[in-house]
Chains A and B, each alone.
Chain A
Amino acid sequence: MRELKKSLIALNILLVFVAVFIALSVGPTKIDGFFQQLMQPGSNEILWQIRFPRVIAAVIVGAAFGVAGLMAQGASNNALAEPSILGTSSGAALGAVIAILFGLAQVGSIAATISGVIGALLATALTLKLASLRGNLSSFALIIVGIALSATLSAIVGLTSAMITQADARSISFWNFGSLALITYENLVGVAATTLIGLGIAWKVAPSLDRLSFGDDTAFHLGINVVKARWLALVALSLLAGGAVSTVGIIGFIGLAAPHIARFIYGPSHRLLVIQSALIGSLIIVFADTLARSIAAPNELSIGLITSLLGAPILIALVSIKNNVWRVQ
């Protein structure tokens, strides 16, 4: 069984490489001598200055959104949680937009990433605080409060971005539906750093999340510092979602779809799920972004629409086949 899981991880890594290769080779422009150009970094401008940073960004933010969803579900012990539902994504967008409003950052800059992470952390903490005002954190309260807070923060993002006159402020549609269209190498630095740190924390906290899935009391008796584990997961969630949202906007559904697809295939162990949610998230975003920029070429489609179109049917199909994959058995 362990060997099988290792093989599946290897297979998924291979799939991500294949997807990256296909994404680099496909686009509205035909690149003559693609293999030759690929072997010579910097040789072809469209390949190396436009497509390459965009595909790498897709890998990074896919992994970030995928594991952010896993952390959201693990920390709240709620299968429905994801960054967009807990207010994390809209908090990140608001953090970045405020920094841009005050001229402190530009989209994709490290300053915007930091602001996004802070916004994400504050919004998520606020959701959890408000949802547990009347005692224990109930799933119902968490989802309702999260949706309400997300809506409020998104509205503020809309109002704020309408007020911004700074260049590169981006519109509400960018913050709501996401886009990888204008990614440059410079934009990758901040999100790569937050994603790496976020993945590291997620890996570290993963065994505690296994215990937390039995409920706070059981986890406590199993020797878990529940408060610490939950906070670590929230910090990972905020780093991952905050970095990704401040760079490419909110790409919905990956945070929900990637961990659930991973659970269906690999079971509920969080360490495995960290790896697999990252790989599946990357796969979906790389695939979706390739479609977004090539199926209606030379026009560009919204990636958020494609991820929903791709992710939702897969999720529905998986749940209808097998729906008991939530807790450690």
Chain B
Amino acid sequence: MSILMISGCANSQNFLSKSISQEDVTALSVSGTQNFSVKRVVVLANGVAEIMVALNAKSILVGRDISSNEDSLSDIPIVTSGHQVISEKVIALNPDLVIIDASTGPKAAIEQIRSAKIKVIQTPESWSLEDISPKVLAVGSAIGAPGAAKLLINKLISQGTIKQVSGNPKIAFLYLRGTSTVYLIGGPGSGADSLIKEIGGVDVGAENLPRAFNTLTAESLASLNPDVLLVMTKGLESVGGVQGLIKLPGVAQTEAGKRKAIIDVDDSLLLSFGPRSYSLLTELAKSVEIVMQ
């Protein structure tokens, strides 16, 4: 049962903000014992670790990147510093397969891993629901379980229609860092744009800005005037929570800031595009409806 957490309230004013955590969503998975072609796998690609768990292959997962921080993976060692791969840590785990994607870096570290005679496979990145199937198939093929991958894909496809929000609300995805003095706002290709579109919202960043992530002045954010702000949970914490965010110049002047219509989603969940994404979309649509009330 999914439970939406109410962030809290101050004085007599009710907060409309919503928080979506890992516990609020369910991951689709396949069951049954699998035979894999590899024994020790290090995953350095966003969202691949959770696909492996969904394919019932957690037993062969020996290392992961920092973005794969689901609770179920907490016993698997992290081999990156920030988002930088530390080749020594990877090689020390003695893997027979390392899975990367186009964003994994630095390239020199990957070359060092290859030169240690470790097999490295690059799987496609996923930035929308359509990208999930090819990614799952690529991961399944890499670990020698294409049948299980196809089974999982069929489960994902059979999820049916996605809940739509009413009134085409204007939503902006803000990538927050408390230490930053500029706003980083999602544009076309940020990943959040496809989530917003799937639930029937309008991504004001994707509609008006040129790049996947754009540094924005405060007054430009105010003039985009989103009804709802979508942020990552740790990002929101880094600016002092909802109270800190709505005080910031630019945010304070938006409809979302004035009405505290802010939705934060667990950092590893929001842009992972994998077995949890359909459940996330249902929760996201519900949250948008609630904060828009």
Contact = CB atoms under 8 A, between A and B. Distances in A.
Contacts of B247: 184
B181 A167 contact: no
Contact of B244 (A51, A53, A167): A167
B222 A29 contact: yes
Contacts of A166: 178
A50 B253 contact: yes
Interface residues of B, number: 28
Given A50-B249, A161-B179, A300-B215, A28 B240 contact: no
Contacts of A29: 219-220, 222-223
Interface string B239-258: 11100100111101100000
Give the interface size class of chain A.
20 to 34
Interface string B250-268: 1011000000000000000
Contacts of A54: 249
Contact of B179 (A27, A51, A171, A183): A171
Interface in B199-225: 209, 214-220, 222-223
Contacts of A182: 181, 218, 248-250
**Main SS class of interface, A:** loop
Contacts of B250: 50, 182
Interface string A281-317: 0000000000001000111100000000000000000
Given A168-B244, A184-B247, A45 B178 contact: no
A299 B216 contact: yes
A298 B179 contact: no
Contact of A168 (B209, B219, B240, B253): B240
A167 B215 contact: no
B239 A168 contact: yes
Interface in A154-208: 161, 164, 166-171, 174, 179, 181-184
Given A28-B223, A298-B209, A168 B217 contact: no
B238 interface: yes
B182 interface: yes
B12 interface: no
B239 A167 contact: yes
Interface in A98-156: none
B178 A167 contact: yes
B31 to A, nearest CB: 40
B244 A297 contact: no
A283 to B, nearest CB: 21
B237 interface: yes
Contacts of A37: none
A46 interface: yes
A49 B216 contact: no
B74 interface: no
B11 interface: no
Interface string B176-194: 0111111000000000000
B211 to A, nearest CB: 9
A300 B217 contact: yes
Contact of A181 (B214, B217, B223, B252): B217
B179 A300 contact: no
Contacts of B180: 171
A50 B180 CA distance: 17
Given A50-B222, A171-B179, A174-B179, A184 B209 contact: no
A169 B238 CA distance: 9
Given A49-B249, A182-B250, A293-B217, 6 more contacts: A27-B217, A45-B222, A46-B222, A46-B253, A171-B179, A298-B217
A-B residue pairs, 7 tightest by C-beta: A167-B240, A298-B220, A171-B179, A179-B181, A29-B223, A45-B253, A300-B217
5 contacts: A29-B223, A45-B253, A168-B178, A171-B179, A182-B250
